[in-house]
Amino acid sequence: MELNIIIGGKAGAGIKEAGRMFARVIANLGYYVFVDVDYPSLIRGGHNFVNIRFSDKKIMSVKSKADIIIATDGRSIRAHEKDAKEDTVWVINEKERREGAIRAPFKEVAPGFFKSSSVLGVLLKLLGIPLEEGLPLILSLPQKEKNESIYREAYNSVSEVYKIRKLSETKRELLTGNEAIALGAVDGGLDIYVAYPMTPASPVLHYLAKNKNELGIKVVHPENEISVINMALGISYAGKRSMVGTSGGGFALMTEALSLSGMAEIPLVIYEAQRAGPSTGVPTYTAQSDLLFCLFAGHGDFPRIVLAPGDAEEAYFLSREALNLAWKFQVPVLLLGDKTLGESIFTAEINREKRVEKPKLWNGNGDYKRYEITDDGISPLAFPGTENITVKVTSYEHDERGITVEDALLVKKMQDKRLKKAETIRNYMINEDYAIKIEGNPQSKRVIITWGSNKGVVNEVAEETGYKVIRPLILEPFPHERIKGEIERAEKVIGVECSASGQFIRLLSMYGIRVDANIKKYDGRPFYKDELKSLIERY
């Protein structure tokens, strides 16, 4: 049992809110749900839609063709004709006309405002879900009396088409990737989150700012991204765990200080939520085209870690892990997501657990040297304010105390120290269980290799078409030996990625991993399940 529903309307008409409320209701009935939010970069007008798919099985993708289309305005009818099948059930605004469509009153609480209550009412009745299942959500809205009467009127205006029954008494948890990242960071010991607003990373800033008191953290929104990252480095230097969040353009502004984090060996976590570029690009749409930028950003040679979660559960886990890794190795850690991961709603099971690992700390004996040469390349940490020592960090090449040097031997010695640290990181990371995931049909000789938020759609398609899926979650240091081991006996390897130039395949080729074909999508939209399946079936 599964259905795919599109709800369309003007920006600011509460379409996203309707999708969120419906997802809540259907997850309460025990179903798995995935919501892709498609909206333009504007506040009012334009065209928004949510694409919702729910199922009794675990799903994490949407289809391009909908079983139900709810068009709350005339433009939505025209916009979604291409998404309709012959048997699609259409519900349109009572003022509009379309052959075979059900007409319903999509009323607003005030002119030009949210239609979410009426949409929810219509949808629940259509699916044969009792009115009471949606009522608590309606009653939690502002102007609840008005919303309730609109909801009831809408519910009673249409007839049942489906009969969706309660699946279990267990209510499934809903989470966006961005919420998961925020919670993961907090459970990894985050003290201060610093960010300048930029879609699609801003929801992390909003969530943490709203809940900072309960979460016991501080949140700062400074003058620009350059300030953001330098502030975060100051926070880490003083001994508190910091994290920043941005998208490609903001990260571009941060790259000078990324290199500083590498040179000064200051722990830092950067959440980079990719959107369709280049430049300002298509701000509210998705892409995986900052991959090579994130792997190589920053001048000079320095170690870094790049992690790429595929869904909300992995986003939570890797965000928490990112905080610990940054402090374990005193390096910048990039958490590479995208709009699909960040803003989509997932049914996710997350058992929150605080996990803050103690970093390598100075033992308090003798003189303190911030950049002490050690066997593993990692120098013990101490923080300013510690009696009888000075803690000196610097953007210049330096000696063990942190004093500027230019002498050839000393310069090489410190480069070697950081290389040693890179080796320590590599040995640790590539042996982590989660470095690569093997999904789909693990025995198959036909392989799809992909990364990031393609997880859900690729795994579903692979299960149906009998492909094995290889997906690295650690992109730097790259677990290429393990990937090679997994494709050794493959007869066919297909790449799947959201980048016009095929950045992921280029990354693989750097390590001598070749694919037979690469399926690329770069229109700002995620892969839809039916679309990807037909593309895969061509090979």
Q: Which residues bind another protein (CB under 8 A)?
A: 191-192, 194, 218, 220, 222-224, 226-228, 230-240, 242, 256-257, 260, 264, 383-396, 401-404
Question: Do residues 65 and 4 lie in contact, with contact meaning Cβ atoms separated by under 8 Å?
Answer: yes
Nearer to another protein, 399 or 460 (CB): 399
Question: Do residues 234 and 194 lie in contact, with contact meaning Cβ atoms separated by under 8 Å?
Answer: no
- In whole angstroms, how close is the CB of 42 to another protein at the nearest point? 27
- What is the total residue count of the chain? 539
Question: Do residues 380 and 363 lie in contact, with contact meaning Cβ atoms separated by under 8 Å?
Answer: yes
Residue 370 token pair: 């911030």
For 502, residues 6+ apart whose C-beta sits below 8 A from its C-beta are 495, 518, 520
Residue 13 token pair: 């008409």
Question: Do residues 487 and 510 lie in contact, with contact meaning Cβ atoms separated by under 8 Å?
Answer: no
In terms of Cβ atoms closer than 10 Å to its own Cβ (0-12, 13-18, 19+), residue 61 is buried
- In whole angstroms, how close is the CB of 414 to another protein at the nearest point? 14
Nearer to another protein, 260 or 348 (CB): 260
- In whole angstroms, how close is the CB of 374 to another protein at the nearest point? 21
Q: Are strands 32-38 and 345-347 parallel, antiparallel or unpaired?
A: antiparallel
Other beta carbons less than 10 A from residue 389's beta carbon: 17
- In whole angstroms, how close is the CB of 382 to another protein at the nearest point? 10
- In whole angstroms, how close is the CB of 211 to another protein at the nearest point? 16
- In whole angstroms, how close is the CB of 411 to another protein at the nearest point? 16
Nearer to another protein, 177 or 245 (CB): 245
- In whole angstroms, how close is the CB of 186 to another protein at the nearest point? 16
The amino acid occupying position 13 is A
For 345, residues 6+ apart whose C-beta sits below 8 A from its C-beta are 19, 20, 23, 33, 34, 35, 37, 174, 175, 176
H or E stretch covering 54: strand 45-55
To which residue do tokens 């722990």 refer? Answer: 267
Radius of gyration of the chain (CA): 25
Question: Do residues 447 and 486 lie in contact, with contact meaning Cβ atoms separated by under 8 Å?
Answer: yes
Handedness of CA 256, 258, 259, 263 (dihedral sign): positive
To which residue do tokens 């909300």 refer? Answer: 312
- In whole angstroms, how close is the CB of 300 to another protein at the nearest point? 13
- In whole angstroms, how close is the CB of 364 to another protein at the nearest point? 13
